[in-house]
Structure 1
Amino acid sequence: MPENSLPSSALTAEDEAAVPGVQQDPRLWRDDGWTARVIKNEDDDGWAVEMIKDGEPEPALVGPWTMGRDKKNPKPLDTSAFNTLKKTASEVLRRHEQQLHALLHKSVNVASATGADELEITLDIVPSEDDPYALLTALDPYGEQLAQVKVAPNFRLTKASAATWVENDFRRPG
């Protein structure tokens, strides 16, 4: 029997990684940069499905999977189920990316020192295990950088802290 036609329950993780391209088995589908794998649910007697994006160490999505007609084995994966799982897992990853972006990038608008223009003040946190920091940046109404200083990653950007920084001629806070 060729390697590609082995039942997915007979494939080990190493075997799965060695099978390139599209794969459409009842318990393992691989296509378009994603792998769907039906697994035994560790929490109960049922089944679960995990969606893993190629190159990622952890699944983007793990959820319950429907039992088959015999009430023992899982329902086989099919094109429709795979496409739905792929869409849902992609949305989960997108939400995680948006949440991370919101945590690491903040922005407020304040009046310039002269009061003639409105400035955008941004805080971009650079996470690092060794030396985390943040960049506090002032941009004019045309998006040109007026000033930038390195601050602590826990610097709290508010309208008041931004206005104080502008009033102090962009000197490093604290």
Structure 2
Amino acid sequence: MSDTEMDEARKEHSPTLWRDDGWTARVIKNEDDDGWAVAMTLDGQAEPALVGPWTMGRDKKNPKPLDSAAFITLVKTANEVLRRHEQQLHATLHKSVRIDTDAGRLTVKLDIVPDEDEPYAMLSAHDAAGEVLAEIRVAPTYKLTVQRASEWASGGFGRQG
């Protein structure tokens, strides 16, 4: 079976389950009230990327059926949620400050490596051309500030960081 045939075989379009384009939309009973919710799960993921309220049907008892337009909107929204999560994670793991020194303007970066067994971070100093002037390993809890970066640079990029 070719990849295209496998993709077609995975597709499912029913009133409460819509599987297509690498995503699964599943209408579920909202545990918090009498309403309904929709969970959007990316293929290969155990947890949904997005769970949100879903509209009641005309009978005010059952959920409104999923359709192509709703699925497309849900996929766009779920992709946006994932993109924002990735941006937030990147911002948490990669920080930088700019400092002025006698040698010119430097960028000091802190890159956290969230290893499950031994997380650590790399503190590095870069000149205006982007060349690495110094790099040391620091604790993943290291707090990068302009003052600490300036002290590290003025101290000749010693171990204390």
State the TM-score, normalized to the length of structure 2: 0.90
1:131, CA displacement in angstroms?
1.0
Return the match for 1:32 from 17, 21, 41: 21
Show the counterpart of 1:151.
Answer: 138
Letter in 1 for 2:123: L
Return the match for 2:104 from 106, 117, 136: 117
Q: Deviation above 4 Å: which 4+ runs of structure 1?
A: none
Show the counterpart of 1:165.
Answer: 152
Residues 68-105 of structure 1, C-alpha deviations (whole Å, 9 max, x = no match):
11112110001110011111111111111111111111
Give the alignment's Cα RMSD to 1 decimal.
1.4
TM alignment of 1:24-173, pairs within 5 A: 24-112=13-101, 115-173=102-160
1:144, CA displacement in angstroms?
1.2
Show the counterpart of 1:16.
Answer: none
- Runs of at least 5 residues in structure 1 that lack an aligned partner in the other structure: 1-18
Q: SS of the residue aligned with 2:129?
A: coil
Show the counterpart of 2:4.
Answer: none
Task: Give the Cα–Cα distance (whole angstroms) in 2 for the partners of residues 20 and 150 of structure 1.
Answer: 49
Q: SS of the residue aligned with 1:88?
A: helix
1:20, CA displacement in angstroms?
4.0
Report which stretch shifted further, 74-83 or 123-132.
123-132
- Runs of at least 5 residues in structure 2 that lack an aligned partner in the other structure: 1-7
